[in-house]
Structure 1
């Protein structure tokens, strides 16, 4: 599984077939969400219709396959906003990933991050690129909210990271 001392190749997976392909191609870590029943134009993974397992069984199969090969699985819970009316559905969505055995939650909204931090699920949280992580102050705040890893925007340069 991943190490802080080596670069991880992280790849999206949207089905068992793509998970197998990217793992066989050398991915150390994969990320995916889960279709959100009952929602048409919104889903709780924050990735539209891409990168989502079709159901709980497929998600569990992907996690098992990845773990059998030493590959980490991150679960996208990138809802674009956290409305009170969505909170129960969001928590159920998160728990589907936790129950499947994912290794981390990728969170893309501050309200959702605060909710998950408060719930203390015992699973690492990663700050999504959707949070626009550009400055040290925000990184410190995320650390205080229990974030274990931050995904930086692709536009940021190595010099800016330093």
Structure 2
């Protein structure tokens, strides 16, 4: 009976280890880096960490100006990333659906470049910041409401694994 209990325990332990192995840290980042990303609201997608909605930088309509509160937040995030050795990011600027698509693509690029400038000012190497304009092509909220359009005016900060 004792050996049967032991076999059951070993089987359960092995299954638990197998399951937890599926939830391991993505390759290329240390546990400390992953913990920092999670603590700042980054979410793991298929192949990258993307800053969650609460941490996105929001903009006024037809503006690429970053508010002083967002500048402080970006500076803090940048310094935290650098503090754990994350030195390279991808910035994706976005717009709502107000205006022409071609104009919004350029506006979204200006937004990404503005965020890049803030991150450079906080110590990140300009050569390691890639800025892209996504225009209105990837909304995260309903563009039929003022609140949704506000959420869509953003820059996402993305950390990819090496």
TM-score bracket for the superposition, by shorter chain length = 0.3 to 0.5
- Hey, which of these two has a bigger chunk of helix by percent? 2
Pick the structure with greater CA Rg: 2
Tell me: higher relative CO, structure 1 or 2? Use CA pairs within 8 A at least 6 residues apart: 2
